[in-house]
Structure formats: C-alpha cells, structure tokens
Amino acid sequence: MKIIDGKELSAKIRQTIKQEVQEIKEHGNRSPLLSVILVGDNPASQSYVRGKENACLSVGMENRTIRLDANISQAELIQVVRQQNEDPDVDGILVQLPLPDHFETNPVLDQISPDKDVDGLHPVNAGLLLAGRDGLLPCTPNGVMEMLKSIGLEDLSGLNAVVVGRSNLVGKPLSLLLQQKNATVTMAHSRTKDLAQICSKADILIAAVGRPKMITSEYVKAGAVVIDVGINRMENGKLCGDVDFEDVKDKASAITPVPGGVGPMTVCMLLMNTLKAYKEHESYGR
C-alpha cells in the first residue's frame, strides 16, 4: 500500500509555483497578490489564515490579510470585498469561513469578482465547472485531482469513483471533475441505502462526509484508492479523517493520511488559483 503524501506533493507543486513567480518578478512585473479577509477572532480561522500567509511567503507571492472586527455589519463587509475587487494589485480574494453568525455567507461570497474568486465558490465559477468550461476550481477538489494524477491516475476511463458527501464545497464539484476525467461517478450521501455495499464497488473512493473514521474496511474494495477529505478535530485536539486509516490501509492500494493529506493540497491549490488569476489579469487587463 502506498501513502499519498500531501505534504510532499504540495511542496513539489509549490516549488514550480515559486519558480514561476520568480520569473514573473525577474521580468520586472508586479507580483501576484492574495487578499484574505478575516472577520472576528475565531482561533481556528486565525491559525488557517496564518497558514495561508506562510504559503504565500513560501512561493514569493504578496499577501494581504484584512482583519475586521466581528461586530461590523454585512454592508461594511461587502464594502471591503468591493474595494478588493476594484484594487488592480489584487489577484485573489478569499473570505475566511465560517463568518460570525450574524452574516449571511452567500450574499458576501457573491460579491467577490469571479475572476478573483480563488476559492472557486462563486456561482459563476460553479457554473463554468458544471458546463465543463475554464474557470477557477474549488481548491480541495482540485487538490484531490492532483493527488490522483500523482499516482498515475489522470485518465479515469473504466474506473468507478464513489464520492461520499455532496457538499457544494467538495462532494459536488469533485464528482464533476472525476466525471470530466471519464470516471463513472456515484454521488453517495447520508441518505444512500447500502452505502458500504456501494462504496465497496469503488476503484476510487472519496470520503467527504465529516464523520470521524466512518469509512472502515468493509466499505473498501481490495486494491482501491482511498482519498480522505475529512478533517475532524477530536476532543484530545488531534485531527482525524473520515476514514479509519488503520483498518483500511492494508486493503487499499493507495491512501491519503490525515493530517498531511488533502489539507496541505487545498492551500497549495489556493496558490495555484492565485497565479492563474494573475495571469488572466495580466493578459486581459483589468
């Protein structure tokens, strides 16, 4: 069994991003810039935002973190998003989620200019993905596709993929990407009947449900590739995936760990999206 190391793979991809950013700057061009908007002082969000700042630093990209008081209004937050839309130095905008309770998330995200939507969550980018057209892809699904590619799974013709979880963030877009690469995709979820039986037909099994260790060996076909998107924080503070790693690892041909799996790939794809947005901005003007 092979462990697909997301830390190692993301470091490798970051290296190529870093080189490209370096060349951009060497030619006297402005640097790509990611703007992160953080509302309130949720400790987990602060720690994630620090991770994104470090990631930008590691590839030589500019980073701007806008820290806002938890008590600002929806209208004030939207004003900040609009300022970033209009700022020609900004290539990517990310509003850290979750927002404090009194905000309505979707109306805020809808304000982000689709060409700066490096989270790939704007309805325009979701629509482009559905239509099979070029846009900014959501980071976690894109990171999963990169992991599959890293083990030689690029064309998925003839393979059954089962995605457990149908969220807008992961399950839904990932199902579309897998299908785009010719996999036969089953979108399973909490109401699916005989879930274990359906999962056990998968050549590629994706767990994106948010239930710690739910996927045990009875869900896994011998030789399957198992991708664990779950990041669950346990009472003891440790992270744990949706897959029971110890139970599944000897049955799978390849498996991703948590931590050190899909998580680091998500941040890496954020950098990739920012670079992509930068290139579009520079070639088409703003």
Ligand X SMILES: Nc1nc(=O)c2c([nH]1)NC[C@@H]1CN(c3ccc(C(=O)N[C@@H](CCC(=O)O)C(=O)O)cc3)C=[N+]21
Which single residue brings its beta carbon nearest to ligand X? 263
Residue 48 or 219: the one with the smaller Cβ distance to ligand X is 48
Burial class (CB in 10 A: 0-12, 13-18, 19+), 216: middle
Residue 90 or 183: the one with the smaller Cβ distance to ligand X is 90
On whether 132 is known to bind a ligand per the annotation, the reply is no
Q: Is residue 244 annotated as a catalytic residue, yes or no?
A: no
On whether 17 is known to bind a ligand per the annotation, the reply is no
Q: How far apart are the first and last CA of the chain?
A: 48
- Report in angstroms how near the CB of residue 48 gets to ligand X at its nearest: 5
Q: Is residue 119 annotated as a catalytic residue, yes or no?
A: yes
State how far the Cα of 257 lies from the Cα of 269, in Å rounded to an integer. Answer: 18
Q: Is residue 116 annotated as a catalytic residue, yes or no?
A: no
Full DSSP string of 103-144:
S-HHHHHTTS-GGGBTT--SHHHHHHHHTT---PPPHHHHHH
- Report in angstroms how near the CB of residue 221 gets to ligand X at its nearest: 25
On whether 64 is known to bind a ligand per the annotation, the reply is no
Give the rounded distance of the alpha carbon of 207 from its chain centre.
14
On whether 231 is known to bind a ligand per the annotation, the reply is yes
Pick the catalytic residue: 84, 91, 96, 213? 96
Residue 10 or 195: the one with the smaller Cβ distance to ligand X is 10
Give residues in contact with ligand X (CB under 6 A). 48, 94-97, 119, 139, 231, 239, 258-260, 263-264, 266-267
- Report in angstroms how near the CB of residue 273 gets to ligand X at its nearest: 10
273 contacts: CB under 8 Å, gap ≥ 6: 92, 118, 119, 120, 136, 137, 139, 142
- Report in angstroms how near the CB of residue 107 gets to ligand X at its nearest: 15
Q: Which two tokens stand for residue 175?
A: 């199902």
Active site amino acids: 52, 96, 119
